[in-house]
């Protein structure tokens, strides 16, 4: 097993196809509203109309696929009053469903909306890094599914050495909050964190259940 | 903690819809149900045999196969046609009903009154393929044919007049040899999503070459997001005007390849014009203003039509004209217009003017090419009926056969239709209602069951169209039958997929072969149809025919079922559809009448004199820009100021999977609208809006986004039509707003040519 499991996204070739999201739903049999992996569409820019009927614009858009980042400082673990949320010996943040009381504190605490409330069972659910599958030597389901191979995974330190970029772009939250194990290659049009010119264009597709 | 719960078996299957790709899926079966869908994780994933990773649609298959809309029993209509009232019947009763009506129609009207409607919801099968209906009808004396498709009618005909054939493009992977890539209305990130297909080839080639990619499209598509270095937004339907403006700069600044134009093409200037055509009709005359309209097609002329600043047009012309090779390709968006034949030919003018045709790293201007193995298809026999209609005009063939002629409707094989369509077959077709234009008009025509007397529809789910069936038959899904599938046309490798039956048929579902065999039995032609074989035996027979092409396939079919997936990298040296023509045009002439590229088409010149067109329509011998109905500046634009297109979007392939909850959740239907159009109308993101014109109306949520040009809306095509009690669609289906009026040459579907208005109905809750 890798020491610090992390996801890597090459955002220069992510087309926002959402195959990762649906593959995850299928593997984990997720009910409507549960999205262990979400794809944010971030876009902005202005249009200027000219008198001759033409337009100029500086529109930009990119997608970012986010699951649980199995953070180095998992705020969900810290905020869990029943100690259901924990990090296991392989660095994967998990919920002990026997201990979870469904208080949803972790959901409120997590800036990535990773823990998701399952209404039918009254408990929290989240990405488990497909740990059974990776123990078999395979990639996580979302990584195996990615048609453009934008998504991969590995040890955080290895990925940083290889790609060198932490997740420091909009609309992601500032990484200081949780130290997420998420490494990216930023898209060419990337905007920095806290950018106000762009907006999440698909709030209904990524909002909490 | 995930518990390890291994499936009883894992079998290979396929996703069968008409996206252009074809993906294998691995089905995990437990207790007789499919509990998980995986895709291709085999091979070393090197280019040429790369993993064919299914997109979200293939991954979401379970929610479709097990959807509440699955059809489980044969049914017959009880209420009025289209009311959706049915009663369950037995298969024998269904076969009896169909056979007796089919006999009656053939006896009374002849075989030309029987028609299989266009439909592509299930293209993945070899035995489970609409070819079975062709085969059955050929045994029974034939039926009326169609030509064209809803995907490519205009570009297909346009390429035939220009190059003498379609499929003239270079492979997309050839952009590794290009200095510049310019794509018009081409969005493989949503239309060619498979990991084995165009999108993956594009990723690999762009990564290797770092070539600059410019996308010209009204929408900032996912292809722009993922690949483009620059987006040039353009008003829908004006690609030909942009090309004319570019051509003006290219010609006046000496950036045209005169040797190529003189040696390979007709009609660029007077020197290569046909003798009997009056002067002033060459392409150069049209561009420079010495033609009939006396208008030079300057960038200033093109800018207000296209919405692209003149300065950018000039720059783009220099970019295209000052480097070689340039890969210029178009998707099928620009051609799905009332002037689509013109747009398709015009885009090809850029590589023709600059000599980028038939060379490495160049392209003909047609869509990127596909490569595949020419696998065997079901033998269907011979259709004695030669009469053929453009597939878009089937409703006219029901209503007005005597007014359906060669000169006004593109009828082939006859001067006019002699009988109306009385019996309609639909297999996996939602083009009866949802995907055909002007749903209100189509409903009106179909509601009268004295006109088309019988609609037999074979489907997996209760689609919008299924509600209009007289006899509704439940077909097995890909999970429930054994079959073969071949590569789609969006890959550069040959693929054979051997699909195993994963689960027993749900309810009383039957394979298409069994359904046709049952009808054949009741018509007294069973043996002629089946050749004494059942579905599985046909699958095995077709497999052994595949083995003749690829003898390395195992002789033992069960071994092939187990392995499931076979790939062969693209072979041969050719990189371009027109490479040999470019090398030696005398030895390898085109199949145009002149053997050359016909910039000026004498055939179209003559059609312009003889064909009967409605007022306002015209046929042009040159790839000129034409403004048409449904465009800005036309009279209807005062009431309906916004252009509406319907781009292909990720949660569906056309209307296939339109009821899949996972896909609807991942990417809900929404109207794309620019803030400059939304703000004055008080429309905010998520508001319920009404989109309407004289044809109809639909209700949908607004997606307020800068990713679409001002003045343009997009309602992604294929959402399921869902009328309320007042008949107003609540599903956001674009075909409530599109017209039955065909394009002039191809008689194709101009479903991106629409003018509408939009108003806010209700705020986002």
**Partner residue facing A55 (CB), from B56, B668, B709:** B709
Q: What is the pLDDT of residue B2?
A: 43
Residue B566 tokens, joined: 């076979």
Question: What is d(CA B246, CA B231) in angstroms, rounded to the nearest whole number?
Answer: 17
Over residues A70-81, mean pLDDT:
97
- For residue B47, list chain A residues with Cβ-Cβ distance below 8 A: none
Are residues B648 and B581 located together in one domain of the fold? no
CB proximity A23 to B under 8 Å? yes
| Domain range annotation of chain A | 5-40+57-196
Judge if B258 and B315 occupy the same domain.
Answer: yes
In a domain, B396, yes or no: yes
Q: Which domain holds residue B192?
A: 154-370+576-610
CA distance B129 to B429: 12
Among candidates A17, A33, A50 on the partner chain, residue whose Cβ is nearest the Cβ of B650 = A17
Residues in B closer than 8 angstroms to A12, CB to CB, are 226
pLDDT of residue B490: 84
Decide if B498 is inside a domain: no
In-domain check, residue B628: no
Alpha carbon of A131: minimum distance to chain B alpha carbons (Å): 8
Indicate whether B22 belongs to any domain.
no
pLDDT single digits (tens) B438-482: 999 999 999 999 999 999 999 999 999 999 999 999 999 999 999
> What's the confidence (pLDDT) of residue A165?
80
Six-digit token pair at B371? 């490569």
Of A143, A120, A55, A103, residue with least CA distance to B235: A55
Note whether B303 contacts A35, CB cutoff 8 Å.
Answer: no
pLDDT at position B635:
66
Residue (of B411, B404, B569, B584) closest to B491 by Cα position: B569
In whole angstroms, how large is the CA radius of gyration of chain A? 18
B558, part of any domain:
no
| Per-residue pLDDT reduced to its tens digit, B220-274 | 999 999 889 999 999 999 999 999 999 999 999 999 999 999 999 999 999 999 9
The tally of domains found in chain B comes to 3
Residue B492 has a pLDDT of 85
Based on the domain organization, do B100 and B216 belong to the same domain?
Answer: no
Within 8 A of B38 by CB-CB distance, chain A residues are 141, 144
- The CATH number of whichever domain residue B677 belongs to comes to 2.40.40.20
Could you give the CA distance from residue B507 to residue B761 in angstroms, rounded to a whole number? 42
- Measure in Å the smallest separation between the Cα of B325 and chain A Cα atoms: 24
Which of B207, B650, B705 lies closest to A43 in CB terms? B705
Would an 8 Å CB–CB cutoff place A35 in contact with chain B?
yes
- Chain A residue closest to B56 (CA)? A19
Indicate whether B393 and B443 sit together in one domain: yes
Q: Is residue B243 domain-shared with residue B173, that is, in the same domain?
A: yes
Contacts of B303 in chain A (CB under 8 A): 52-54
- In CATH, A5-40+57-196 is 3.40.190.10: no
Q: What is the mean pLDDT of residues A23-34?
A: 96
From first CA to last CA, the distance across chain B in angstroms is 37
Same domain for B203 and B310: yes
Low-confidence ranges of chain B (pLDDT < 50): 1-3
Interface test with A, best of B2, B10, B305 (most A CBs within 10 A): B2
Same domain, B194 and B114: no
Q: Do B668 and A52 touch (CB under 8 A)?
A: no
| Inter-chain residue contact B666 with A33, CB threshold 8 Å | no
B319: which 2 tokens? 């970019």
Is residue B366 domain-resident?
Answer: yes
Report the pLDDT averaged over residues A14-20: 97
CA atoms within 13 A on the CB side of B692: 14
Cα–Cα distance measured from residue B585 to residue B569, given in angstroms and rounded to the nearest whole number: 29
Is residue B750 in some structural domain?
yes
CA–CA distance, B42 with B44 (Å, rounded to integer): 7
Residue B91: per-residue pLDDT = 98
The arithmetic mean of pLDDT across residues A52-70, rounded, is: 97
User: Among B600, B612, B609, which Cα is nearest to B747's?
Assistant: B612
Q: pTM of the entire structure?
A: 0.97
The per-residue pLDDT for A209 is 43
- Average pLDDT on A15-39 reads 97
CA-to-CA separations, B398 to B97, B385, B432, B444, B454, in angstroms, rounded = 21, 17, 12, 12, 12
Mark whether B404 and B435 lie in a shared domain.
Answer: yes
SS3 state at B500 = coil
pLDDT attached to residue B577: 84
Task: Give the CATH number of the domain where residue B358 resides.
Answer: 3.40.228.10
What is the value of ipTM here, to two decimals? 0.97
- Helix axis angle, B131-139 to B512-523, nearest 10°: 10
Clarify whether residues B161 and B138 are in a common domain: no
Chain A interface test: which of B662, B668, B714 (most A C-beta within 10 Å): B662
**Is the Cβ of A122 closer than 8 Å to some Cβ of chain B?**
no
Q: Are residues B126 and B170 in the same domain?
A: no
| Predicted pLDDT at A208 | 56
Contact B288, B360 (CB under 8 A): no
Contacts of A32 in chain B (CB under 8 A): 661, 665
Nearest to B236 by CA among B627, B595, B514, B510: B627
Residue A202 has pLDDT above 50, yes or no: yes
Judged by CB atoms closer than 8 Å, whether chains meet at B2 and A128 is answered as yes
Cβ neighbours of A54 in B, within 8 Å:
303-304, 306-310
Provide the chain A residues 45-74 that lie in CB contact (below 8 A) with chain B: 45-47, 49-50, 52-57, 59, 61-63
Q: d(Cα A62, Cα B573) in Å, to the nearest integer?
A: 37
Q: How far apart are CA A5 and CA B540, in angstroms?
A: 46
Residue B618 lies in a domain: no
**Which residues of chain A make contact with B304, given a CB cutoff of 8 A?**
52-54
Judgement on whether residues B132 and B160 belong to the same structural domain of the protein: no
Residues of B in contact with A146 (CB under 8 A): 53, 195
pLDDT at A160: 95
- The answer to whether residues B305 and B433 belong to one domain is no
- Residue where the block lists tokens 């207000």: B304
């Amino acid at each position: 097993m890798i020491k610090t499991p992390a996801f890597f996204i090459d955002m220069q070739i992510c087309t926002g196809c959402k195959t990762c999201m649906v593959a995850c739903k299928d593997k984990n049999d997720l009910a409507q509203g549960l999205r262990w992996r979400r794809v944010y569409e971030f876009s902005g820019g202005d249009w200027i109309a000219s008198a001759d009927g033409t337009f100029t614009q500086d529109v930009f858009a990119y997608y970012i696929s986010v699951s649980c980042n199995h953070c180095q400082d998992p705020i969900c673990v810290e905020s869990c009053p029943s100690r259901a949320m924990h990090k296991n010996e392989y660095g994967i943040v998990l919920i002990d469903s026997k201990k979870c009381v469904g208080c949803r504190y972790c959901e409120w605490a997590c800036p990535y909306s990773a823990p998701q409330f399952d209404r039918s069972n009254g408990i929290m659910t989240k990405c488990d890094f497909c740990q059974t599958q990776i123990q078999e030597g395979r990639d996580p389901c979302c990584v195996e599914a990615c048609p453009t191979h934008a998504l991969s995974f590995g040890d955080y330190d290895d990925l940083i050495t290889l790609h060198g970029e932490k997740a420091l772009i909009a609309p992601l939250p500032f990484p200081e909050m949780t130290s997420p194990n998420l490494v990216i290659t930023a898209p060419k049009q990337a905007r920095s964190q806290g950018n106000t010119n762009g907006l999440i264009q698909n709030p209904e597709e990524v909002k909490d259940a | 903690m995930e518990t390890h719960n291994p499936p009883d078996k894992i079998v290979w299957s396929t996703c069968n819809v008409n996206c252009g790709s074809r993906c294998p899926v691995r089905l995990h079966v437990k207790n007789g149900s499919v509990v998980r869908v995986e895709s291709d994780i085999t091979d070393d994933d090197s280019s040429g045999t790369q993993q064919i990773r299914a997109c979200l649609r293939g991954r979401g298959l379970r929610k479709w196969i097990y959807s509440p809309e699955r059809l489980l029993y044969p049914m017959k209509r009880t209420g009025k046609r289209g009311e959706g009232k049915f009663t369950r019947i037995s298969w024998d009763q269904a076969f009896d009903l169909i056979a007796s009506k089919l006999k009656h129609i053939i006896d009374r009207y002849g075989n030309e009154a029987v028609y299989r409607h266009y439909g592509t919801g299930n293209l993945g099968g070899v035995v489970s393929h609409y070819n079975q209906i062709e085969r059955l009808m050929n045994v029974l004396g034939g039926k009326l044919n169609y030509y064209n498709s809803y995907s490519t009618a205009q570009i297909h005909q346009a390429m035939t007049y220009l190059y003498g054939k379609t499929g003239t493009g270079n492979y997309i992977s050839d952009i590794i040899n290009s200095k510049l890539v310019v794509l018009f209305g081409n969005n493989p990130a949503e239309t060619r999503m498979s990991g084995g297909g165009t999108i993956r080839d594009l990723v690999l080639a762009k990564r290797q070459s770092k070539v600059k990619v410019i996308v010209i499209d009204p929408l900032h598509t996912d292809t722009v997001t993922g690949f483009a270095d620059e987006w040039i937004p353009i008003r829908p339907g004006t690609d030909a005007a942009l090309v004319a403006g570019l051509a003006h700069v290219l010609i006046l600044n000496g950036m045209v390849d005169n040797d190529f134009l003189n040696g390979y093409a007709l009609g660029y200037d007077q020197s290569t014009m046909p003798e009997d055509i009056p002067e002033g009709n060459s392409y150069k005359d049209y561009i420079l203003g010495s033609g009939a309209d006396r208008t030079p097609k300057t960038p200033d002329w093109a800018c207000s039509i296209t919405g692209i600043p003149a300065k950018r047009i000039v720059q783009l012309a220099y970019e295209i004209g000052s480097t070689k090779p340039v890969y210029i390709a178009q998707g099928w968006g620009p051609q799905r217009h009332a002037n689509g034949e013109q747009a398709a030919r015009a885009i090809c003018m850029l590589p023709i003017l600059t000599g980028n045709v038939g060379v490495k790293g160049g392209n003909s201007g047609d869509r990127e090419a596909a490569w595949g193995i020419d696998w065997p298809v079901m033998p269907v026999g011979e259709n004695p009926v030669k009469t053929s209609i453009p597939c878009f005009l089937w409703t006219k063939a029901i209503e007005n056969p005597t007014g359906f002629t060669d000169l006004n409707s593109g009828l082939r094989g006859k001067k006019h239709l002699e009988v109306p369509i009385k019996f309609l077959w639909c297999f996996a077709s939602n083009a009866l209602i949802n995907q055909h234009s002007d749903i209100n008009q189509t409903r009106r025509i179909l509601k009268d069951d004295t006109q088309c007397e019988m609609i037999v529809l074979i489907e997996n789910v209760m689609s919008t169209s299924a509600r209009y069936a007289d006899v509704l038959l439940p077909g097995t899904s890909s999970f429930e039958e054994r079959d073969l599938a071949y590569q789609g046309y969006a890959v550069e490798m040959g693929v054979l997929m051997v699909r195993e039956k994963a689960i027993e048929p749900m309810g009383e579902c039957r394979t298409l072969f069994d359904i046709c065999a049952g009808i054949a039995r009741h018509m007294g032609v069973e043996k002629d149809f089946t050749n004494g074989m059942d579905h599985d035996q046909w699958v095995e027979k077709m497999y052994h025919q595949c083995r003749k092409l690829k003898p390395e396939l195992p002789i033992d079919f069960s071994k092939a079922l187990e392995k499931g997936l076979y790939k062969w990298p693209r072979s041969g040296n050719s990189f371009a559809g027109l490479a040999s023509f470019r090398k030696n045009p005398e030895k390898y002439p085109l199949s145009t009448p002149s053997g050359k590229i016909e910039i000026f088409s004498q055939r179209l010149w003559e059609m312009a004199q003889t064909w009967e067109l409605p007022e306002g329509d015209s046929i042009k011998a040159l790839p000129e820009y034409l403004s048409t109905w449904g465009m800005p500046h036309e009279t209807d634009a005062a009431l309906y100021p916004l252009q509406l297109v319907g781009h292909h979007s990720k949660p569906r392939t056309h209307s296939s999977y339109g009821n899949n909850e996972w896909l609807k959740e991942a990417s809900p239907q929404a109207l794309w609208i620019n803030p400059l159009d939304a703000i004055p109308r008080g429309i905010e993101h998520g508001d319920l809006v009404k989109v309407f014109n004289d044809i109809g109306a639909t209700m949908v949520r607004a997606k307020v986004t800068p990713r679409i040009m001002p003045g343009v809306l997009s309602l992604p095509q294929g959402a399921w039509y869902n009328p309320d009690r007042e008949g107003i669609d609540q599903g956001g289906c674009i075909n409530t707003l599109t017209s039955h009026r065909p394009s002039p040459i191809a008689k194709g579907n101009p479903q991106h040519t629409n003018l509408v208005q939009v108003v806010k109905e209700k705020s986002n809750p």
